[in-house]
Amino acid sequence: MQANAPTVQGELERALGTILGHGVRIVLAGRTDAGVHATGQVMSFRSDTELDREAIRRGVNALLPADIAVRDVEPASEDFHARYSATGRTYEYRIRNAPQREPLERHREHWVPQAIDTAAMERATATLAGRHDLAAFAIGRSGERTIRRAEWHREGTLLRFEIEADGFLRGVVRGVVGTLLWVGRGHVTVERFGEILRGRDRSAAGPSAPALGLCLVRVAYDGPADDARGGDDE
């Protein structure tokens, strides 16, 4: 919630309150910075409404602005918490590596016209797997997280970076991508990327990649419990 700007949480609570006939405070699986997208965000709320889930979904979507939509509504157990019950999260970062930008995708991808060494970036990315203190890439506090998967996919001129972990600190994915772009542009070596990761010094890493290329694509509620309760912001 922000006092001086519209937010996803604020719009959802307003629409839900209208449909359900009472005030609602929602819990989101993770907070996202301004400009960051989410196609797999999950929220939870409590209500004693007799409306069925499809009526709630249709009613809320009718009241939401065009840039927010609810895909599905499901009943949950009493102890379910969208944030603390999550066992993993997956983010995607999109880079358009081409001389010409894609105007219709300008809000969803970071345009990099310069040539980049994607093979070097992939080698550096391989060092991310495992449990690390991610302070080198985070905004604010430090903390250990387990990165389960980090990989690049190329689709023509589009590069997609996917990273899955048990949790994230604020700014980590954008910090990782910005530093990997340093590797791709030859500013630092693959070996130096590993040293930056282990050094836990944010000032040694690259600048954060722009928010517009980042998207929360999946929140998992299966597998081992998240050891990083509450530390999942991008």
What value does the mean pLDDT of the chain take? 93
Burial 31-42 (b: 16+ CB within 10 A, else e): ebeeebbbebbb
Give me the half-sphere count of Cα atoms (radius 13 Å) on the Cβ side of residue 96. 16
Strand 37-38 versus strand 214-220 pairing type: parallel
Stretch 85-98: mean pLDDT: 97
Stretch 34-58: mean pLDDT: 95
Q: Is the Cβ–Cβ distance between 149 and 209 less than 8 Å?
A: no
Q: Tell me phi and psi for residue 206, to 5 degrees.
A: -75, 170
pLDDT over 70 (residue 121): yes
pLDDT over 70 (residue 231): no
Stretch 12-39: mean pLDDT: 93
Q: How confident is the model at residue 3 (pLDDT cuts 50, 70, 90)?
A: confident
Question: Rounded CA gap, 131 and 147, in Å?
Answer: 6
pTM comes to 0.91
Question: Rounded CA gap, 173 and 38, in Å?
Answer: 14
Residues noted as catalytic: 33
Q: What pLDDT score does 4 carry?
A: 84
Q: Reduce the DSSP state of residue 126 to 3 states and report it.
A: helix
Q: Is the Cβ–Cβ distance between 220 and 86 less than 8 Å?
A: yes
* Structural domains of the chain sorted by starting position, each given as residue range(s) with its CATH number in brackets: 1-85 (3.30.70.580), 88-220 (3.30.70.660)
Dihedral (CA of 164, 85, 23, 64) sign: positive
pLDDT in tens, 177-202: 999 999 999 999 999 999 999 999 99
Q: Reduce the DSSP state of residue 102 to 3 states and report it.
A: coil
